[in-house]
């Protein structure tokens, strides 16, 4: 579904992990965050996912950078040229990336109102917020209603993350309060969340199997008896995500929908190969 002239346009960034068909259906503009792999520097969608995973495992330096201000400017200009009455631009936490600041700078250079939102989160918590906002916009909602839809969604959503190791978060400087878990034995697996806009520790569990069981338990606890959408996010092919999905469906009678998505390569660069996340998002 494309935005109609006069509608509010919704823009997000690639850390939202939105599948391309979803973004296209709801007319969501996605500005690409950037990756540097060795000497190569480009937008993340220009890289091959499996190559990035191999490079990470090989120890090749992989760094991330926010989009250029110009990338946001042209995304905003494109929306304006198609007749958008206003733009709502929703992005990864400002404590994790300068992306939102690049969007704010570009917003000052266009001739339609641009409302830039710091979601305080990332991943499908951001993706669900952008989708909800775009649905309200497609129904003819004004900017205030579109903003309300996005804020309600990203404030209510929760990210629960399993990582095989904290090393990639440490390398990228995104470890936040989870640094308290550094130095744990190799067999101790950390479970993390996002709190106050940055990575925060939840608990440590001995062994991968127990950690993944705990990941499911925490998601079920977080959902409670609410109607929720669930997203399972993976970085790299993994049969474990199918098992996790089946267990969540069996234990969450109020689950409205579930989806399996590939993590943004930006997030994968910080979480590392084998990372699995569950997003619990009340609807």
H/E stretch holding 24 reads: helix 20-25
> Full-prediction pTM beyond 0.85?
yes
pLDDT at 223 over 70: yes
Beta-bridge mates of residue 193: 160, 200
Closest CA to 135 of 56, 22, 232, 221: 22
Residue 38's pLDDT is: 86
Confidence tier at 247 by pLDDT (50, 70, 90) = very high
Per-residue burial over 218-255, b if 16 or more Cβ lie within 10 Å, else e, is bbbebbeeeebbbbbbbbbeeebbeebbebbeeebeeb
| Residue 56 in tokens | 């990470």
Q: Show the domains of the chain with their CATH numbers.
A: 7-32+67-155 (3.40.50.10170), 158-282 (3.30.1180.10)
pLDDT at 133 over 90: yes
Q: What digits encode the pLDDT tens for the residues 173-190? A: 655 554 545 445 457 788
Closest CA to 191 of 275, 110, 122: 275
Stretch 221-233: mean pLDDT: 96
Confidence tier at 95 by pLDDT (50, 70, 90) = very high
Point out the least confidently predicted range of 2-11, 19-28, 141-150, 264-273.
2-11
Stretch 45-66: mean pLDDT: 93
Name the 3-class secondary structure at 114: strand
Q: How far is CA 192 from the centre of its chain?
A: 15
Calpha distance 62→59 (Å, rounded): 8
């Amino acid at each position: 579904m494309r935005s109609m002239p006069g509608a509010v346009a919704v823009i997000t960034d690639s850390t939202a992990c939105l599948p391309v068909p979803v973004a296209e259906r709801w007319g969501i503009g996605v500005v690409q965050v950037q990756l540097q792999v060795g000497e190569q520097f480009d937008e993340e969608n220009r890289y091959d996912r499996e190559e990035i995973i191999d490079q990470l495992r090989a120890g090749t330096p992989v760094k991330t950078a926010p989009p250029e201000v110009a990338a946001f400017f042209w995304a905003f200009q494109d929306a304006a040229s198609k007749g958008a009455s206003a733009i709502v631009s929703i992005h990864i936490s400002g404590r994790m990336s300068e992306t939102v600041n690049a969007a704010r700078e570009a917003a000052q250079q266009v001739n339609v109102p641009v409302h830039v939102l710091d979601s305080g989160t990332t991943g499908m918590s951001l993706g669900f917020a952008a989708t909800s906002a775009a649905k309200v916009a497609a129904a003819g909602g004004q900017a205030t209603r579109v903003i309300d839809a996005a804020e309600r969604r990203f404030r209510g959503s929760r990210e629960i993350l399993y990582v095989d190791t904290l090393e990639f978060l440490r390398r990228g400087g995104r470890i936040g309060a989870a640094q308290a878990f550094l130095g744990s034995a190799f067999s101790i697996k950390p479970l993390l969340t996002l709190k106050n806009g940055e990575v925060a520790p939840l608990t440590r569990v001995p062994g991968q199997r127990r950690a993944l069981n705990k990941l499911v338990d925490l998601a079920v606890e977080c959902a409670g008896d609410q109607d929720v959408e669930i997203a399972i996010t993976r970085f790299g092919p993994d049969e474990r995500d199918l098992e996790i999905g089946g267990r969540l469906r069996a234990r969450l009678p109020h689950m409205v929908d579930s989806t399996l998505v590939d993590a943004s390569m930006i997030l994968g660069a910080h979480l590392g190969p084998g990372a699995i996340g569950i997003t619990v998002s009340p609807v």
